[in-house]
Amino acid sequence: DQQVKQNSPSLSVQEGRISILNCDYTNSMFDYFLWYKKYPAEGPTFLISISSIKDKNEDGRFTVFLNKSAKHLSLHIVPSQPGDSAVYFCAANVKNTGNQFYFGTGTSLTVIP
Amino acid sequence: GAVVSQHPSWVICKSGTSVKIECRSLDFQATTMFWYRQFPKQSLMLMATSNEGSKATYEQGVEKDKFLINHASLTLSTLTVTSAHPEDSSFYICSARDTLAGTGELFFGEGSRLTVL
């Protein structure tokens, strides 16, 4: 049972434009969310996180939005750069009760120069 | 940021042999480390939670006798794939959380690609 879903396996965006990656979850108990970036044959790299007490968190070009009622979060990258081309995973967990992070299947972002 | 190192990054072995993969937290202590497996075009799948000084906790469907995990120190966890078969070929990734920082952020190793001939 996939508790975290990324319904878009791929996304192409022109350099300089905004990239929006989406993630949906089913477990209303999730209260901590992460976005990771992964290049081929490398481990994931942490990008940005958000706790359920917030609905937005910004870090430079990256902003994560959380809509708890819709069980939806999104990652905005603006402006997009060719070096952002990678696979992006969202992950969720119940922060204070366990170590299990549930990952989405990833969205492959290609930023076209 | 904190660094987690995995070794080897790529290993090829013959069917029936055993392979050990190391995961080290280089600049922080980790009482808990996690081992994942990634199949092509699929999400990371948590295999087991490695606990320093005690037995690992395996996820449902993961054979503990097949995937031996040892977490002998606060900075090192090892995954041994015993009697490897071609279907064990995969990308294995470890992660760790800084025990003292408590931010919840997971730091990932670079991953180890296992190919079983």
Residues of chain A with pLDDT under 50: none
CA atoms of A19 and A16, how far apart (whole Å): 9
Measured between CB atoms, which of B91, B104, B107 is closest to A95?
A: B104
Residues of chain B found within 8 Å of residue A95, distances taken between Cβ atoms: 104
Would you say the C-alpha torsion B94, B98, B102, B107 has a positive or negative sign? negative
CB–CB contact B106 A89 (8 Å):
no
Interface contact A95, partner B, CB < 8 A: yes
For A83, list phi and psi in degrees, rounded to 5: -70, -10
The position carrying tokens 């170590």 is A99
Most A-contacting residue of B9, B38, B44 (CB-CB within 10 A), to test interface: B44
- Each residue's pLDDT tens digit, A47-73: 998 989 999 999 999 999 999 999 999
Mean pLDDT of B12-40: 90
Distance from CA of A42 to the nearest CA of B (A): 5
Question: Residue B43: its pLDDT value, please?
Answer: 75
Residues of chain A found within 8 Å of residue B1, distances taken between Cβ atoms: 46
Residues of chain A found within 8 Å of residue B110, distances taken between Cβ atoms: 42-43
Check whether B96 has a pLDDT greater than 80: yes
Question: Residue A90: its pLDDT value, please?
Answer: 94
CB–CB contact B108 A46 (8 Å):
yes
CA atoms of A99 and B13, how far apart (whole Å): 32
- Each residue's pLDDT tens digit, B28-85: 888 889 999 987 767 788 899 988 888 899 988 899 999 999 998 989 999 999 999 9
